[in-house]
Amino acid sequence: LVFRTLFTILNTEEKAIGGSILPHVLELDVPVLANGTKSDKFVGDVFPVGSFLDNTKVYRVSNGGIWVTLDSLDGVTGFVHISRLADERVPSLSATAGDYKIGSTHRARVLSYNPVDATLVLTLQPSVLAEKYLRVTDIEIGSMVEGVVEKLVPAGVIVKISKSINALVPAVHMADVKLSHPEYKFKSGKKVECRVLKIDPERQRVILTLKKSLINSEYPIFQNLADIHEGDISHGVIMAIKKNGCVVAYYNNISAFVPGSEMTEAHVADLSTVYNVGQTVKTTVLRVDPSANKLIVSCIAHKKKKEKQVTKKEKKDKKEKTEKSEKKPVKKAVKKDNHLRTVAKKNGLKKFSDVRRGVCYQGYITNITDAGVFLKLSKTISARVKIGNLSDEFVENWKSLYKIGDCVQLKIIHIDREQERLEASLKKSVIERKDGPKQEGQTVEDSDSDEEMPEENASRNAELFFQQYQPLFQPFLMRASLQ
């Protein structure tokens, strides 16, 4: 029998020598894993803490726990202490009966590895199997984690993210805005969803953020200077404001400096009047030097780039539009000219003085506004139809009656020859009404001034009536004003 000594106890009455006959100890080599082959990696790296093992089979039972074989592994075994078999206390174990008898199979999780005994220390506890993280190093920077608020402390919020791991949300990262009463928002037992800012394996610390601007950011995170390049964009948080700029913090203890000239487009004497500590900013990398651990970023470079892109796009669109208009004349304009030419030919109006009140003409609608409908009788003669003269019936959505480009029949109801303005009507009752014949020898100008259409006459008569009887109404008006 070959035996390798591991320790000796010779300074007592009962002398003892401890050793091992395991092949990997005798050979001072790594254990055989499967099919007689040895792993190039450390077994603890092949089966890291937190990894799962299915179909572990019990082959030995003692008062202290159980030994299991691992599926498809020859040189490595597993051990589960009695306290790790279940969440509740297991009073005793039996090799022939119970849940943990020889031959029973279980799903286990790795807690540690003993290289001397080539044994993986395992657990079968359901609560541990359900845990997402067993070690701080299992948590990935930038990942989303769910937790429960433990308590509120001056430094921030303590959040429990697993049975054995607590994390801190710094006060500056509790929200995008400063909270006047954080105790109302973070009550013990409240579930929260956070993003991992950084981890410290040596001190077993995890730092989280609850800022929505960081959680919902569409940009990649900065967590390694070697992976950051000029022009990259990411969100960061201002941690300090100085006279010549500010310091912005990112993930995994990465920080950058923003020069004052890259914080605002216009010069600002006091940068703290524009920015606040704890404010999330969108930054663009200007320079990065991993060897010197330096990172210079800008808060306005992305705005300048966007404005430049917009200007470039506008110029391109304008150029394409010009080229298109030169190559392809607009059909709508041609169609408009044709209709207008047809209307002008039908009306036969050569100058403004040819227009007569009470006469029906053809009109081409050129515009519809809140003031009414505007039409052309020829290239140089236009008329307006007020809203009240569009239809005999009340129409709430009167703009839907006509559309630009329609050719309609109208009747001239008023002519202002000094301003060369025409008022027309599209009412069917007005157009179909036959006005009485004019007196013999009456000129066009006389007709315009003497013959009034009912639509114009009504408003003018109301004005004359008020002027004529104003003295009678004056006492009543004065009394009403005094009241």
CB atoms within 10 A of CB 171: 17
Q: Which two tokens stand for residue 18?
A: 């401890």
- Structural domain contains residue 73: yes
**What is the DSSP pairing of strand 360-369 with strand 407-416?**
antiparallel
Long-range (24+ apart) CB contacts under 8 A made by 224-231 are 224/252, 224/254, 225/254, 225/288, 225/290, 225/293, 225/295, 226/290, 228/254, 228/285, 228/288, 228/295, 229/285, 229/288, 230/285, 230/286, 230/287, 230/288, 231/284, 231/285
User: What is residue 267's predicted lDDT score, i.e. its pLDDT?
Assistant: 82
Phi then psi for residue 191, to 5 deg, are -80, 135
Q: Are 276 and 252 in a shared domain?
A: yes
What integer is the mean pLDDT of 192-207?
93
User: What is residue 455's predicted lDDT score, i.e. its pLDDT?
Assistant: 45
- Structural domain contains residue 308: no
Tokens 């020069």 map to which residue? 259
Residue 194, judged by CB atoms within 10 A of its CB (0-12, 13-18, 19+), counts as buried
Enumerate the H helices of 227-330 as residue ranges. 301-327
Left (φ > 0), alpha (ψ -120 to 50) or beta: where does 447 sit? alpha
- Count of domains for the chain: 5
User: Is a pLDDT exceeding 60 seen at residue 445?
Assistant: no
Lowest-confidence pick of 197-211, 257-271, 427-441: 427-441
What integer is the mean pLDDT of 226-234?
93
Q: Are 20 and 54 in a shared domain?
A: no
User: What dihedral angle (degrees, nearest 10) is formed by the CA atoms of 236, 241, 245, 250?
Assistant: -20
Per the structure, the complete domain to which residue 412 belongs is given by 355-432
Q: Are 8 and 53 in a shared domain?
A: no
> What's the Cα-to-Cα distance from 15 to each of 8, 10, 11, 12, rounded to whole Å?
8, 5, 7, 6
- Structural domain contains residue 345: no
CB atoms within 10 A of CB 250: 24
User: What is residue 306's predicted lDDT score, i.e. its pLDDT?
Assistant: 55
Q: Which DSSP string do the residues of 121-137 spell out, in sequence order?
A: EEE--HHHHH-S-SSGG
Phi then psi for residue 404, to 5 deg, are -60, 135
Half-sphere exposure of 342 (CA within 13 A, CB side): 11
Which residues, other chains included, contact 451 with Cβ-Cβ below 8 Å and sequence gap of 6+? 357, 358, 435, 438
Three-state secondary structure of 337-373: HHHHHHHHHHHCCCCHHHCCCCCEEEEEEEEEECCEE
Paired strand residues for 17: 8
User: What is residue 393's predicted lDDT score, i.e. its pLDDT?
Assistant: 86
Which has the higher per-residue pLDDT, 88 or 40?
88
User: What is residue 316's predicted lDDT score, i.e. its pLDDT?
Assistant: 64
Q: Are 109 and 41 in a shared domain?
A: yes
Last residue of a domain, one of 262, 279, 298: 298
Q: Are 374 and 395 in a shared domain?
A: yes
CATH of the domain at 154: 2.40.50.140
Phi then psi for residue 174, to 5 deg, are -75, -25
Contact of 351 with 318, CB cutoff 8 Å: no
- Structural domain contains residue 316: no
d(CA 329, CA 331): 6
Q: Are 40 and 125 in a shared domain?
A: yes
Paired strand residues for 146: 193
- Structural domain contains residue 160: yes
Q: Are 237 and 185 in a shared domain?
A: no
Tokens 């409908």 map to which residue? 373
Which pLDDT tens digit goes with each residue over 299-341? 988 666 555 555 555 666 666 666 665 555 544 555 567 888 8
- Angle among Cα 303, 309, 315 to the nearest 5 degrees reads 135
Q: Are 62 and 117 in a shared domain?
A: yes
* Among 382, 436, 432, 438, CA closest to 411: 432
User: What is residue 171's predicted lDDT score, i.e. its pLDDT?
Assistant: 93
Q: Which two tokens stand for residue 80?
A: 């589960």
User: Is a pLDDT exceeding 90 seen at residue 240?
Assistant: yes
d(CA 58, CA 165): 31
d(CA 273, CA 305): 25
Last residue of a domain, one of 79, 108, 130: 130
Q: Are 58 and 89 in a shared domain?
A: yes
Q: Are 40 and 105 in a shared domain?
A: yes
Lowest-confidence pick of 207-216, 276-285, 420-429, 463-472: 463-472
What integer is the mean pLDDT of 149-174?
93
Q: What is the DSSP letter of 408?
A: E
- Structural domain contains residue 329: no
Q: Which amino acid is at 399?
A: K
Helix (H) or strand (E) holding 417: none
Which has the higher per-residue pLDDT, 123 or 456?
123
- Structural domain contains residue 52: yes
Q: Are 35 and 119 in a shared domain?
A: yes
What integer is the mean pLDDT of 193-219?
93
What integer is the mean pLDDT of 109-136?
91
User: What is residue 437's predicted lDDT score, i.e. its pLDDT?
Assistant: 42
Phi then psi for residue 269, to 5 deg, are -65, -45
Q: Are 153 and 236 in a shared domain?
A: no
User: What is residue 281's predicted lDDT score, i.e. its pLDDT?
Assistant: 94
- Structural domain contains residue 263: yes
Tokens 């110029």 map to which residue? 315
> What's the Cα-to-Cα distance from 399 to each of 41, 370, 386, 424, rounded to whole Å?
81, 9, 12, 17
What integer is the mean pLDDT of 185-203?
93
